[in-house]
Amino acid sequence: MSWFIVKRLTSLVPILLGISIITFILLQLIPGDPAVAYLRLSNIPPTDVAVAELRLKLGLDNPLHIQYLEWLGKVIQLDLGMSYVSKNTVWDEILLHLIPTIQLTLTALFFIVIISLPIGVLSAIYKGKWIDQFSRIIAYISVSMPTFWFGFLVIFFLSVKLDLFPVLGRGTLAHLILPSMTLAFGYIGTYIRLLRASMLENLNEPFVVYAKVRGLRQRQIMSRHVLKKSILPVVTGLGMSFGNMLGGAVIVETIFAWPGMGQLFVSSILNQDYPMIQGCVLFMSVIFVFCNLLVDVTYSFLDPRIRLEGGK
């Protein structure tokens, strides 16, 4: 098992290096001059002399490969630079906004699990019955309705009309319900259908017949054998979805004024805060990569064949 984890960690090195190169290149493609943006956000007139001095100070006059190596050296030391807007380090700003995003994402993941898994299991057990038809309707609406539209709907009905939940900001538990539901809704239909399809496939496997011959009850067969095997693709998908939600909650955080990473990233783009943009892209990319690693490790615990194949 330890060799499996070491092998996966080693494979991350070229991936992370590639991410750093892409992140640096994307920053160069942003229109404008970082020196001019810095002076403007610092309320300093961007004269030719001031811009030239700042470019020299920031090392922007160096060739691109020198700039990249200097930046990479700082990143390895966990130095992502300083925000042009707040004058705080990029790390401080990221950590300040990361906690609300993790809180939002974990709550959304909770809603996905408690809603999609029971419905997916029941729709597989009672194939063709009313619960199966109901799950199809939910799945269709979930995957077809845009996130921003669902967000506006829950705001209108649950906040404006019924006055059940607050609309904007972060404070109490009630503030968390609507944005997390909105973030989760687009994934619920996917996992309902994924679990249903996986269970129906496994119900036709020979091990189910053998379990029935041994005299096991239907409930035991479903819980101990079919569900355990069917949950593997769902675990993989949830792990990848967690990374996607961490980095892709921009729309939800903007609609509900949730002070997370998405809102930080949008404001950084609007303010042309180059170090913050670069830091956010790099950080969220690394988080996504490590989420995939965690999925691989979890998968190997659920299915030992994965580690055996990885150890060859």
pLDDT score of 110 more than 90:
yes
What pLDDT does 304 receive?
61
pLDDT score of 127 more than 70:
yes
Helix (H) or strand (E) holding 9: helix 2-29
Q: Which residues contact 227 (CB under 8 A, 6 or more apart)?
A: 121, 199
pLDDT score of 309 more than 60:
no
Q: How many Å is the Cα radius of gyration of the chain?
A: 24
Contact 227, 199 (CB under 8 A): yes
Q: Which residue has the tokens 């805060």?
A: 273
Kindly report the number of other CB atoms within 10 A of residue 193's CB atom. Answer: 21
User: pLDDT band at residue 297, thresholds of 50, 70 and 90?
Assistant: confident
User: Kindly report the CA angle at 101 between 99 and 106, in degrees rounded to 5?
Assistant: 95
Contact 187, 115 (CB under 8 A): no
For 173-199, how does the pLDDT look when each residue is reduced to its tens digit (9 = 90+)?
A: 888 999 999 999 989 988 998 888 888
User: pLDDT band at residue 11, thresholds of 50, 70 and 90?
Assistant: confident
For 213-238, how does the pLDDT look when each residue is reduced to its tens digit (9 = 90+)?
A: 677 777 777 766 777 778 878 877 88
Q: How far apart are CA 272 and CA 91, in angstroms?
A: 17
User: pLDDT band at residue 289, thresholds of 50, 70 and 90?
Assistant: confident
What pLDDT does 312 receive?
47
User: What 8-state DSSP symbol labels residue 251?
Assistant: H
Rounded average pLDDT over 95-120: 91
Q: And the tokens for 220?
A: 């035991």
Amino acid in position 208: V
Q: Which residues contact 244 (CB under 8 A, 6 or more apart)?
A: 288
Q: How far apart are CA 296 and CA 275, in angstroms?
A: 32
pLDDT score of 135 more than 80:
yes
Rounded average pLDDT over 21-34: 81
Across the chain, what does the average pLDDT equal? 83
Contact 135, 119 (CB under 8 A): yes
Rounded average pLDDT over 13-34: 82
Q: What percent of the chain has pLDDT over 70?
A: 92
**Torsion-angle region of 24 (φ positive above 0: left; ψ -120 to 50: alpha; else: beta):** alpha
Q: And the tokens for 13?
A: 């090195």
Nearest to 287 by CA among 72, 84, 5, 95: 95
Instruction: Report CA torsion sign: 247, 253, 254, 259.
Output: negative
Residue-level length of the chain: 312
Kindly report the number of other CB atoms within 10 A of residue 283's CB atom. Answer: 21
pLDDT score of 76 more than 80:
yes
pLDDT score of 69 more than 80:
yes
User: What 8-state DSSP symbol labels residue 89?
Assistant: B
pLDDT score of 205 more than 80:
no
User: pLDDT band at residue 119, thresholds of 50, 70 and 90?
Assistant: very high
For 155-169, how does the pLDDT look when each residue is reduced to its tens digit (9 = 90+)?
A: 999 988 888 888 887
Q: How far apart are CA 62 and CA 56, in angstroms?
A: 8
User: pLDDT band at residue 307, thresholds of 50, 70 and 90?
Assistant: low
